Amino acid sequence: MGKVDLRIDWATHEAANYACKNWHYSRCIPKSKLAKFGVWESGVFVGCVIYGVGATSDLVKKYGLKKEEGCELVRVALKEHKAPVSRIMAVCLRLLKKQFAGLRLVVSFADPSKGHHGGIYQAAGWVFSGNSQASDEYIYKGKRWQGRSFRHLYKGMEKSPGVQIVKGSSKHRYLMPLDADMRERIKPLSKPYPKRLKQAMAPQGYSGGVAPTQTLQHHIGSSVNV
């Protein structure tokens, strides 16, 4: 493969929303302000990578961090492209760290019930630390929602008639340390990478996707051409 004319810059909400609705399995963008990166190849928009602060401090508290010292990679929404995803994520992480100097750890999840084993994180050298606990999900009007997505859109309706609570899937958890001390801190948590599933079926009518996260203030920064 020849050199790819890759450019990454801060994306507008409209561009990120389009990418999520067209190129991410959840078909939705998180409902809060996020750090949104657009990806262009030879001047053509090919998608976005989005980060956000975890919905609770528990996301990074277990690693000895304050809430503002960690964030979650919540969307990788890309159409057909040439640059490796690991390369795209590496550039986004450099921009993210530059803009938010206090960040020390990024967390992300791969959902095996959607056929995801975390191959993009493995290729980029993320640390696999095991699986998350399965959380409640909801079926409402023929659609299945992840817990935080449903509670955000339909607050107070969790026990309403017509809402069915079901047990969600346990997800593979991946960690990317942003400094040497944090890398040493999480090294003992490293486990062998899970293998790709031969076949996996997503629940019919699923409408949740990666759970939304709370606010990272949106900043406009300089684009990166690599």
CATH code of 79's domain:
3.40.630.30
pLDDT tens, 82-134?
Answer: 999 999 999 999 999 999 999 999 999 888 877 778 899 999 999 999 887 76
* Domain contains 161: no
Contact 80, 41 (CB under 8 A): no
Would residue 139 count as lying in a domain?
no
How many angstroms separate the CA atoms of 32 and 189, rounded? 30
In a domain, 148, yes or no: no
Q: Do 121 and 174 form a contact (C-beta atoms < 8 A)?
A: yes
Q: Are 132 and 173 in contact (CB under 8 A)?
A: yes
Q: 86 lies in a domain?
A: yes
Q: What's the total number of domains in the chain?
A: 1
Model's pTM, two decimal places?
A: 0.76
Task: Confirm whether 34 is domain-assigned.
Answer: yes
- 25 band by pLDDT with thresholds 50, 70 and 90: confident
**Residue 82, Cα to own-chain centre: how many angstroms?**
21
Number of H helices, E strands in the chain: 6, 11
3-state secondary structure of 2: coil
Give the integer Cα–Cα distance in Å for 222 and 226: 13
Give yes or no for a contact between 101 and 91, defined as CB atoms under 8 angstroms apart: no
- Judge whether 58 lies within some domain: yes
Whether 69 shows a pLDDT value over 80: the answer reads yes
Compute CA 165 distance to the chain's CA centroid, rounded to the nearest angstrom.
24
What is the C-alpha to C-alpha distance for residues 106 and 98, in angstroms, rounded to an integer?
14
The DSSP secondary structure of 14-70, one letter per residue, reads HHHHHHHHHHSTT----SS--EEEEEEETTEEEEEEEEEB-SSTHHHHTTT--GGGE
State the residue range of the domain holding 87.
Answer: 6-133+171-225
Does residue 73 have a pLDDT over 80? yes
207: pLDDT strictly greater than 70: no
The whole-angstrom separation of Cα 136 and Cα 74 is: 19
Q: How far apart are the C-alpha atoms of 177 and 183, rounded to whole Å?
A: 5
- Does residue 195 lie in a domain region? yes
In a domain, 194, yes or no: yes
